[in-house]
Structure 1
């Protein structure tokens, strides 16, 4: 009885001590003026508050151990503080400095919650703002603002991101850290993630297999969800965008709220676009698309745990601009209705992300279930492909006790997939199959002295692919059953050296590994306008990439330079052959070769002294991809220069926080095509935009007008697959954007 009593006292004492963890303070500028409405956010807990009218704040219910806190206010530098709590109350007064340059963020895709400058792997962050980002109905096009990132497109509704010449099977797309699986293998399939409820996008350029598995051989794109509402508030917003070129409309409505321990939110979205107009005003048949999405989230956090639950649903119907569809659609005329030659994509994603704070340890347990449906229709009520992919992912990460110099992570990940063909359709592009992948990894980050931080790790993967046979051995479309087993080690080592507060150098070497996937091994069927043929003798890819980058910044100037060299052994790609089917369809085959990819990106961002209302930014990106025999690789983006001149004014007539921007995109000619590709001419595009806030009563509404391709230029990008059917990229487009925020403020 005595022992039980002592145990109860210990438990009560433990929770009482935890309950005492709190941080309070005041947020001011350099002149000691309070900053009301400043944001205080704890990434580990997915919890945030805002400072009151006096700039004061208080964080309570915090866990024991080391946590990072980000303080931010528009127009000021972000400040990131690391504190160690041991059942105590801290006073932390924060001074934020004004800056015209965007401040660095806490990034989550590198394994640790760390600043961009602290991370050994360079992580680009793209903040999403409907008022200031590209005026396009194509969400993937927004990503191309990051140097080194491009897109393969098939009209406004279908596109795939490209990172330094690698795409589709070679890069990994994450939905808030969850591996997104919706038949990413083909350039005919859209990205499948919309911009609704996305706070920002984190992009790793180069191998990231250590943390994310074999499909991250070329990089990672992580779409980070919007933060919960500040504690004690209910907020929401309605967003509307109208597009002249595709007669399109995009709208979404979201509302979210948070109390001391709970939060929740819901967001609905809808898109509807007709066939787009190419330069010169002629419509491109069957590039119409529409879609709906629903996103729900809820969570609970206290001093012991942070539990998060997310549900995402999307449904998209996308026209297929292929030769067989052109005559039919041209006869009908431009429109929105989709009866023939379309894809229907249906995706459910239920995920949970949880952290448990165990004094010096931190345990992260994540899991997700995903169901993706893919239907291809050719004639009216004529469905040729009907597949469902079910994916179950799970992950455990243990953050070991750390010091001021070292941090350690060990983890385990698993993926189980089931691909199923439904309703006995005409084409079985991929067989019924089970795919299982299990892996373990370890990551170490060590600070040797104040200026040098090193990160290294190792990973082991085991993968099994089991597929059923298709048809009879006497038939041309016969595929034998597969039982493939793969395993490999991969690793990386990188370092960041801060020569001074303004100048840092970053070096990283990574080995990565990717197994051939189900489409590459087993494809045997018509897929849109071509016939695709896999090869079950393909072996795993291996990549060895070296990256080096320099970053320099002052209060009104930044400079970046990054170079890379990627050695790809057994690189897998799809290529047209000289063969055709009995029906005359061109046969595309999955092939394998040794190759090298190399290039660089550079950029500057200038705010002249005494002219903080003026911003100038320009970037240049270059990549070359060659096979071992000297031939060039397919789907390699052209060199590009992107520039923006931006003017800002606190008030212009009735507009508050006004901006005016002019953009230039100069794409060089691609004179180094693959043998099966054509050369592509260069082009120059001009865009413009204006926007700001309008005060209505006590509410600020945001409004913006943007014009892309101002001069309605006819052009074809090298990565546009519509050049195969002799159509140009979109012409002039005028976009009207409106955001109406609403909400209940918390009591101070």
Structure 2
């Protein structure tokens, strides 16, 4: 009997876990010749292989339906669905293209190439952002059309998507929502770019996919991938920045074997006060330490990964031009912030469906130390005499009691079931939620202790017709906030989205998306009652605030042929019950009082541009883009912190030779227009032009690859003030000329 049971069990296991060999070849459409070393990638499994010298590949898969993305430099990526087992081998044809290879979009649930996506999503590799010479991740994000940054000096930046920021833009990292008191203008991202692979930006309401706080869009940060099966890799990099006499360095290692995989990466960044054409901006110095690690396992019907990120940053808060120093130790006032991000992502594969389970825990410990008003007067020649003095006080500063200390603990979960394909339908059902606790430990309290609970239920489908793709969905959300010594608040919302993608003509793609979104008032808006040191104002919340609710129309047109790409993205965003701060004319503790109010608002604008790569010189690229946004209240008053219009022109050369691979050179001119459409309590800003340039490439050194980059921003050392700089009211200039040298060595 036992033997019979063993035989039956063995047969069942063989049936369930049997592997099927999928083979195929990849050919050049123009010549019908094989393409060696093309990449075969399966997004759901996050694994793949490459073709051999004859353009052939083989991969083992269990029974089921899979998406496969095939890509190679100089060719247009192809995506296809296959049902395993196959009756015959695959033949995949790639057409030449001077455009960049397209990656799978991760931030939308169906994991498609952008060419297949109904929703327009901007994606950019981190190496492209860093090649621009950006000092920080927040600064690098401004290279994406429609994205700007509210900055406090050099170290603190908050993403702005089409005029909306803070709690209206949701940030995801490691597949989980990042929570670090985003309501504050001087609260930065808290993420280091080391160990990130790419950035995706959803511009517009994404409440269907992410719930509250995605009313204005989503910034989705993709971590670096694990090593391919039975492979290992290591690398180290160093970047030097001339303006701040600063550096950023990181080292990483990853390996994969027998289904198990792991990686780790550590980095250290230090900068002195940044320099302008006239002075150094006192106390814009900072120090950041970052560590990332990951562990994963994958079998034929199950994959899981666990990631951890620790980030510690000591950030100076500039107030006025004072001591001229090259010290890297922050003065008072400054922030000391610790972020710990734990994430777990697992997928269970069935024959024709799958279940995704993502869990996250984020611990944010924010300390802010008050200012001592002892700044000396500005002296351009007093550079180094104070360095030793501030270094001696470093330990003393560490022992100070924090004026403000808040600990934010956030647990989140996201469960999605990918239903079996039904005819033309791909459908996903999901449930998401969050438990968040805010606790105060400092001598001052800006926002009270509170507990927030979220629950969201969603359903979305992608429908494929012959000449039209449709995506639609609906979602219900419930949020409850229990505030200490105050009334409990509950917020509910139902939202939906409907999108269409079609080819109007042979080379013209049109996307029309209609979506609603919502945002429940955050704790600061509901219950603030204190001086916000970073903003020098006394803030008073309003417990009677209601949901922000918006409806946005997006229209995206794209023309593309072998040598030119044109795009036009226009939007209109109506926001009901928009929450904003307004001064009431009173003073408390010598600080002006600002109270939270609500009114209806609207934002509209778009991004327009072209990408030209003339025949037959495909190595030459000319890119131009224009972005604009207008934000107004219902009474036609302008919203604060709306980015100025800008025009960016880039001339880029890309070459690939035997001695130097992926070499490039570029020159960029960004013209920012004057911003005169400002709120009554906001200052205007003037127009300016910034010239940048860069060069880089990869070559072999001691049988390993070394990448060297050289870039320069603000080449002409232009004196300017960015409209979204929080130092603008004091007339403090933004960074002057900066030269960045970067070296990465891979093993």
- Report the TM-score when normalising by structure 1: 0.92
In structure 2, distance between residues paired with 1:626 and 1:432: 34
Deviations 1:326-365 (A, max 9, x none): 5xxx347342112421111101111111111111221111
The 5-angstrom pairing of residues 553-568 of structure 1 reads 553-568=560-575
The alpha-carbon deviation at position 5 of structure 1 amounts to: 5.0
SS of the residue 1:140 aligns to: helix
In structure 2, distance between residues paired with 1:23 and 1:624: 52
In structure 2, distance between residues paired with 1:602 and 1:152: 22
Partner residue, 1:70:
69
Pick which of 387-396 and 655-664 moved more: 655-664
Select which of 339, 364, 367 maps to 1:372. Answer: 364
Say if 2:419 is the partner of 1:400: yes
Select which of 578, 592, 596 maps to 1:590. Answer: 596
**1:101–1:557 CA contact under 8 A, matched in 2:** no
Partner residue, 1:430:
447
Partner residue, 1:599:
605
Say if 2:499 is the partner of 1:494: yes
**2:282–2:323 CA contact under 8 A, matched in 1:** no
Pick which of 529-538 and 143-152 moved more: 529-538
The alpha-carbon deviation at position 696 of structure 1 amounts to: 1.7
SS of the residue 1:215 aligns to: coil
Partner residue, 2:476:
460
The 5-angstrom pairing of residues 240-389 of structure 1 reads 240-278=238-276, 280-323=277-320, 330-331=322-323, 333-378=325-370, 380=397, 381-389=400-408
The alpha-carbon deviation at position 85 of structure 1 amounts to: 1.6
The 5-angstrom pairing of residues 36-435 of structure 1 reads 36-60=36-60, 62-86=61-85, 91-129=89-127, 133-278=131-276, 280-323=277-320, 330-331=322-323, 333-378=325-370, 380=397, 381-422=400-441, 425-435=442-452
Question: CA separation of 1:44/1:11 partners in 2, compared to 1, >3 Å: closer, same or farther?
Answer: farther
Select which of 630, 639, 644 maps to 2:636. Answer: 630
Say if 2:552 is the partner of 1:545: yes
**2:17–2:62 CA contact under 8 A, matched in 1:** yes
Pick which of 66-75 and 200-209 moved more: 66-75
**2:266–2:291 CA contact under 8 A, matched in 1:** yes
Say if 2:610 is the partner of 1:610: no
Question: CA separation of 1:311/1:185 partners in 2, compared to 1, >3 Å: closer, same or farther?
Answer: same
SS of the residue 2:209 aligns to: helix
SS of the residue 1:216 aligns to: coil
Consecutive unaligned residues in structure 1, runs of 5 or more: 470-480, 743-748
In structure 1, distance between residues paired with 2:673 and 2:4: 77
In structure 2, distance between residues paired with 1:677 and 1:629: 17
Partner residue, 1:521:
526
SS of the residue 2:181 aligns to: coil
Deviations 1:577-636 (A, max 9, x none): 432213x12223222110111112111100001111210001111110010001000111
In structure 2, distance between residues paired with 1:568 and 1:263: 45
Partner residue, 1:451:
467
- RMSD of equivalent CA atoms: 2.0
Deviations 1:234-270 (A, max 9, x none): 0121111110011110111111112242221111111
In structure 2, distance between residues paired with 1:570 and 1:558: 39
In structure 1, distance between residues paired with 2:129 and 2:117: 30
In structure 2, distance between residues paired with 1:138 and 1:578: 37
Question: CA separation of 1:177/1:131 partners in 2, compared to 1, >3 Å: closer, same or farther?
Answer: closer
Say if 2:626 is the partner of 1:620: yes
The alpha-carbon deviation at position 131 of structure 1 amounts to: 8.1
The alpha-carbon deviation at position 518 of structure 1 amounts to: 0.6
- Report the TM-score when normalising by structure 2: 0.92
Deviations 1:263-286 (A, max 9, x none): 2111111111110012x1410011
Say if 2:549 is the partner of 1:533: no
Pick which of 498-507 and 293-302 moved more: 498-507
The alpha-carbon deviation at position 54 of structure 1 amounts to: 4.2
Partner residue, 1:649:
655
In structure 2, distance between residues paired with 1:655 and 1:409: 45
Select which of 666, 670, 674 maps to 1:669. Answer: 674
**1:149–1:162 CA contact under 8 A, matched in 2:** yes
SS of the residue 1:721 aligns to: coil
In structure 1, distance between residues paired with 2:318 and 2:299: 52
Question: CA separation of 1:107/1:581 partners in 2, compared to 1, >3 Å: closer, same or farther?
Answer: same
Partner residue, 2:693:
688
Task: Report the count of equivalent residues.
Answer: 717
Question: CA separation of 1:703/1:131 partners in 2, compared to 1, >3 Å: closer, same or farther?
Answer: farther
